[in-house]
Amino acid sequence: MEPDKLIIDLKELVDKYFGLVAKLGIVLVILAAFFLFTNLTTDFYDTPKFLVLLAVTGILLVLTTLKFTLKDKVVLLRTPLDIPLLLLIAVGAISTILSPSPYIALLGNQLRIHTSLVSWITYALFYFVLVNNIKTVREAKWIIYISTIAAVLLSVSTLLFYAGVKILPPSWIYGINFTPSGSAFSTTAILALLLPFVVMQILTASKPLILILNSLLLALFGITIVLTGTWATWIAALAAFGLMLAVSGFFNKIAQGNFKDLKTQMVLTALIIPLALVILTAFLSYMPPIGGVKNPLYTQAQNFPKELQLPFTASWKISVSAFRDSPFWGSSPSTYLFDFTAYKPLEINSSKVWNIRFDSAFNEYLQVLATMGGIGLLALLSLAALFISSTWSHLRGVLQATAQPHLGGELKTALAISGMLFFIILALHASTMVIWIFALILLACFMAINRAANESPAPFNIKGVINRITSIDSSTETIRINALPGVLLTISLFLVITAFFFAGKLTLADVRHRNALNAIAQNQGIVAYNELVVAEKLNPVSDLYRTDLAQVNFALANAIASAKGPTESSPAGSLTDQDKQNIQVLLQQSINEGRIATNLSPKSAVNWEILAVLYRQIAGVAQNALLFSLDSYGRSIQNDPLNPQLRLNVGGVYYAVKNYDLAIRFFTDAINLKPDFANGYYNLSVALRDKGDLAGAQSIGQKVLELLTDKDSPDYKTAQGYLEDLNSKSQVAQPPAAQTSGALQNEELPKVIDLQKPEKIATPAAVKKPASQGEQNTTPQPTPTQLP
């Protein structure tokens, strides 16, 4: 076959099937974002959803550049959102390069891909292929219809889980807050973004059947949002409903009394009935029953686990502190957890979430400010501002009834409002992968309709380029440069093949890690060890795999020591030389893996804490192990300086070696950081008792009883018994913070690990007692000591 004939045939093939492949890819992404989850990976939701997004984006990118090559020209749709998205990627890349934890910034923290540099790049490329493949209003409308049908199934399944109907196999463990999207916030945010289209269909319906169907959809979406949503999605849903009615002029028509015609009355009924059902559902769910009447909706609402959100004030202080220290590029993508532990305000310890480490901010803007700095926030704000600017002329024309009628005008209005709602939601809650995927689809659909209505490409010269950059309208740009299409095809092929290779490799590692977690749950230590070794080889830069393997190595060594170590009945034990060698190898591997994890992610307080616990648990077989434990705890406190539990643990280490003065100091630090910390007071009381300060121990012990308000709880009974024994001056057990249960802490075991004494131990500064009520406290918050 002649080369020219082959090219012509290939062109025809691409033209014939490219549109179909693009449509199937978009549908696949929508269905995956809404419904895909699996227990084969560590994260049940984000990982499989992202893999589908990456695969579809890569395939469409290659096909797009192939089409450019066959046509021998590059035809790009330029939109107002291009530059902000490119700026986000540029900031993320620079921030990742400068990050002390570059692999976390690149791939995500604890296998949470969303907010990582890889996710931002994929989102931007996905938007690029969308805007260059959604060509007509018909295609945009078709995408919205598919999304609405999928949202109906998502809403119904969410309500079934909420009602306790079990539609998954018994092997799945899930609660009433289970939803296929991955979180109740994601599900209800999707429904809120689709509400403008449902309301639009009601307002413009010409057939009673369409009116009734969309009225039912409005009720279904509204009830789902009320029952499972948060205040953020409630506000978004109200805004969607109100804005759509306001823009359509419905309020003006009602105010003028123009509701006597049959069509208006039908529309009014179709709106009022769902609204009444939603309000009634909300009332029955959140108002306690009166007179002992049973109300299953209220009971279910009280039992529904709400998703935790970091308070705005705390999030603001954290993000501003991170911005202060890194104003341009931020702390790097996916590192908000490190920002939280480093900068959280002291008042967090007085809240119910004091013992939770948050990995996301109150909202997306504060998240970006902390992790991608001022330039990243500017890019995100520009994204919002440019989209709103793109919609403003159309919405203003609709409000003033001067907009030019064209195909898809009502759909454009709904898309404009839905896009605005997305940026409003970002101000009310931190985003999720599902929200970004669906929002980018909606934004791309708006740009397609905007282009269809305002097709006016600017000339390709310096003035035209400037106009295109500053324009708020979409435009098509054709670039004819020899070899450029081929170069783009080569680059895209290389990038996609590379991405697919590493994605496959990392996915296999993740599957192995999930297998290891399942084996641990079934107490199969050897299987877990083997799976983690393979996972680590496939993905050697994951600190999570390292810490898990470190703990499994320790567990195996501890099992040998428990089975054959010294006991009361056999003081010499039955450890053989081979057993000692196995314990030595396993413990050395455990320590090595823990250290590598801290090198991969030195800002992780969790990694340092795990290493500290490992050192502490091998005190019986490793000389100087407690010194290394104290050093690791100190470095953990450097990264999480206001954590009272870490101070309590350090006090427990000092108590174990009978250094009561330092134990008392760190127990005091813990209660100074958290004045209502009952466990801290209990440990402090025991340390004071053993030092000989019985009066102080009794006083602190009485404080424990005052803090434990539930007199029927086991903790209260334990504290009460302790105080009674203390008053009779009898000796009791050591404090909980000093108690250990590992067999490898038995001092009678032979020393099989040789740890050289550390040159210097990281010791945090003491925490001063907070000012009493009514007193002004000028004491600065504790800061960790700096090590060379």
pLDDT digits (tens, 9 = 90+) for 567-594: 666 666 677 888 888 888 999 999 999 9
Q: What DSSP element (H or E) covers 477?
A: strand 475-479
The pLDDT of residue 29:
97
| Angle of the 525-538 helix axis to the 484-521 helix axis, nearest 10 | 170
Q: What DSSP element (H or E) covers 74?
A: strand 74-78
Identify how many contiguous H helices and E strands the chain contains and give both numbers. Answer: 29, 4
pLDDT digits (tens, 9 = 90+) for 91-150: 999 999 999 999 999 999 877 899 999 999 999 999 999 998 888 888 999 999 999 999
Q: Measuring CA to CA, how many Å separate 42 from each of 46, 117, 210, 711, 787?
A: 10, 20, 43, 40, 36
pLDDT digits (tens, 9 = 90+) for 318-372: 999 999 999 999 999 999 999 999 999 999 999 999 999 999 999 999 999 999 9
Least confident of 284-298, 351-365, 503-517, 688-702: 284-298
- Spell 484-494 as b/e; 16+ CB within 10 A means b: ebeebbeebee
First-to-last CA distance in the chain?
71
Task: Report the CATH superfamily, name and number, of domain 542-754.
Answer: Tetratricopeptide repeat domain (1.25.40.10)
Question: By C-alpha distance, which of 232, 228, 215, 217 is closest to 160?
Answer: 228
Q: How far apart are CA 481 and CA 700, in angstroms?
A: 80
pLDDT digits (tens, 9 = 90+) for 423-463: 999 999 999 999 999 999 999 999 988 876 665 443 434 44
Q: What's the pTM value of the predicted model, to 2 decimals?
A: 0.89
Q: Strand 753-754 vs strand 475-479: parallel, antiparallel, or unpaired? A: unpaired
The pLDDT of residue 588:
92
**Taking all residues of the chain, what is their mean pLDDT, rounded to a whole number?**
85
Task: Examine the pLDDT at 778 and tell me if it is beyond 50.
Answer: no
The average pLDDT across 269-290 equals 90
pLDDT digits (tens, 9 = 90+) for 5-20: 555 556 666 666 777 8
Q: Using DSSP, state whether 478 is helix, strand or coil.
A: strand
pLDDT digits (tens, 9 = 90+) for 147-185: 999 999 999 999 999 988 877 776 666 677 889 999 999
Identity of the amino acid at 692: G
Burial class (CB in 10 A: 0-12, 13-18, 19+), 729: exposed
CB 616 within 8 A of CB 629: yes
Handedness of CA 495, 515, 590, 335 (dihedral sign): positive
Residue 743: which pLDDT band, with cuts at 50, 70 and 90? Answer: low
Q: Using DSSP, state whether 754 is helix, strand or coil.
A: strand
* Helix, strand, coil distribution of the chain in percent, nearest 5: 70, 0, 30
Q: Using DSSP, state whether 654 is helix, strand or coil.
A: helix
Residues 6+ apart with CB under 8 A from 629: 612, 613, 615, 616, 619, 653
